[in-house]
Amino acid sequence: MSTVTTFLRQPLVVALILIAALLWLGETLSPGFASGQQILRLLIVAALLGIVAAGQNLVILGGREGIDLSVGGVVSLSAIIAGNLMAGENGGISLAILACILTGAFFGLINGIGVTLLRIPPLVMTLGMLGVLQGLLVVVRQGIPSGRAAPALADFVSRDFLLGLPGILWLWVAIGLVMAFLLSRTVFGHRIYAIGSNEQAAFMAGVPVKVIRIALFVLSGVFAAIAGICLLGYSGSSFANVGEQYMLASIIAVVFGGTPLSGGKGGYTGTMAGAFLLVILQSILTTVNIDESGRQMVFGATLLVLMLFYGRGRSMRA
């Protein structure tokens, strides 16, 4: 296989090519779709998804069919907590951020304990947690919009912050740099890949598998909480199921970026491209008047195709 062919088969390269193709398709369907302002708006939406996907990426990299289906519930709960603590005033931002991060970490800790110590499969554990969170939100708010974003938060998410870009994009870049450093330059990152590739071998080598796996779920909850705060700033207010859209989308973004659901390889750079690619696809579906149920069907089918693709790849390597 030639060097060029090998390069073109890299998931990140494939994602970037698809991004260019979808932007071209969007521009063809709706002139102005690929304008600078529209791309900036798409990047803001992609950043919200990308922040959720950062935690999902870590859990999936840890292997053992790791997945976090509760991220949507944590996003919704965090947005409601932040909105109520801010109540439209800048003075409540610090307390809201602290409360949301602690909330995300708490539910992530429960997920991690359930998966590692109680040996509950991640799919079952986090799906059960999602049900708990959804029930909690219904009991507390009964689906009624609650709270308002502080003006400073709304400005940070949607208005110019530095060099003509909104603050949330700089936050996303910072998270990307931290994730890249964490995964490639730290012992913790190397151990994530180790347990994702072969948990038993990692344990025999002295890696504290349970501690690391719990930490991954805690980080997933924290990233979902940060996304919930930013989502509040983007929308201005929050309601009970505002975060549901991120459960499936965050998984697809990770797989789009080249991290297989089996874990052990991949990285966050590809996930960032995957998040942007998914948002463009969603925008095109909206442009051609596909409703929410149709979009979810397309996303589900996309995930199935990607899983078949990576499954074929594993069988070829075996």
Report the distance separating Cα 3 and Cα 201, nearest Å: 33
Residue 102 lies in a domain: yes
Residue 315 lies in a domain: no
Under 8 Å between Cβ of 256 and 274: yes
Tell me the mean pLDDT in the region 103-107: 96
Residue 84 lies in a domain: yes
Under 8 Å between Cβ of 224 and 104: yes
Per-residue pLDDT of 285-299, as tens digits, reads 888 777 777 777 777
- The tally of domains found in the chain comes to 1
Range of the domain at 207: 33-309
CATH number at residue 68: 1.10.3470
pLDDT at 12 over 80: no
pLDDT mean across residues, the chain: 87
Residue 195 lies in a domain: yes
Residue 8 lies in a domain: no
**Amino acid 243: pLDDT:** 80
Buried b (16+ CB within 10 A) or exposed e, 54-67: bbbbbbbbbbbebb
**Amino acid 9: pLDDT:** 65
DSSP class of residue 35 equals S
Whole-structure pTM value: 0.89
Residue 145 lies in a domain: yes
Residue 165 lies in a domain: yes
Residue 17 lies in a domain: no
